[in-house]
Amino acid sequence: MKKALLTGINDYKGEDSDLRGCINDVRNLSKMFCDMSFYVYTLTNSEVTKKGFTEQVKDLLLSGTPGDELVISYSGHGTQVPDFSGDEADNFDEALYLYDEPLIDDELQRLLAYKPEGVHLTLIMDCCFSGTNTRSIQKKPRFLPYMNVGIDENGNLTRKRRKRNIFRSAGMDHVVITGCAEQQTSADAYLNGQYNGALTYYAVKSFTKGMTYSQWYKEIRRHLPSRYFDQIPQLEGRQDLFQRGAFGLPATYTKKCFLKFW
């Protein structure tokens, strides 16, 4: 069984908080996974509350059986909140800024623990977790400060920078592709006649059948960073998972639109 839960938020509360490309990200990913015979479920805008998101993720994971391929994507604002657990060197927890409140990385990790052993899980996170950026006609950062915590007089995050491109973890049994490094922002960008997340746009554009995660990531990195976008996508997980066929897809397969909820 192959299932994908795709989420995106354009319409945030507040006059200056809206994004333009997140629903298009969901549409583009929906087509991509539908073509790979995934059951596709979508949540957008006010449906992506913390309660709704966590319940849907939990249900998706608990529905998995060994050998299943599951995907979770999020397109929207990222943010930071103070770290009260003491597990962050820079004293900030990265978080998804959902429709009504943040979901911090510690909560997300506890949620992912519902995944049964033997289920293959991929996460695509097209948002900002930290960093600075400038607004322009061409792009807008997918970063929204939460209660202005850790913001200096110039609007920049006050934090120690950490750099990584590929993060390998021996205890991590899923694959994550993010839009940028922890000190950066991901762009909500105007590309090829419409707004999209830069990561999602180039991830879909770069994907071909039979790719491993490592090969897919290398293709994405041909486009990001660039002269227009300084964000550096991240690939996280165990080295052996990077060598699997992305989404369990063999080198040859029959393209089939299996089912789509939209």
Catalytic one of 22, 34, 127, 128: 128
Q: What is the pLDDT of residue 169?
A: 53
Is the pLDDT at 166 greater than 90? The verdict is no
Is it true that the peptide bond before 66 is cis, omega within 30 degrees of 0? no
Q: What is the pLDDT of residue 167?
A: 42
Q: Is 128 a catalytic residue?
A: yes
Q: Is the Cβ–Cβ distance between 208 and 159 less than 8 Å? A: no
Q: What is the pLDDT of residue 96?
A: 93
Percentage of the chain exceeding pLDDT 70: 75
Catalytic one of 77, 120, 127, 180: 77
Which domains does the chain carry? 2-260 (3.40.50.1460)
pLDDT tens for each residue of 9-40: 999 987 678 999 999 999 999 999 999 999 99
Side chain identity, residue 12:
Y
Report residue 101's pLDDT band, with 50, 70 and 90 as the boundaries.
very high
Task: Find, among 79, 75, 71, the residue nearest to 22 by Cα.
Answer: 75
Q: Is 180 a catalytic residue?
A: no
- Segment 247-255 shows an average pLDDT of 65
Q: Is the Cβ–Cβ distance between 57 and 115 less than 8 Å? A: no
Cα distances from 24 to residues 29, 119, 140, 163, 244, in angstroms, run 8, 28, 15, 29, 28
Q: Is the Cβ–Cβ distance between 80 and 95 less than 8 Å? A: yes
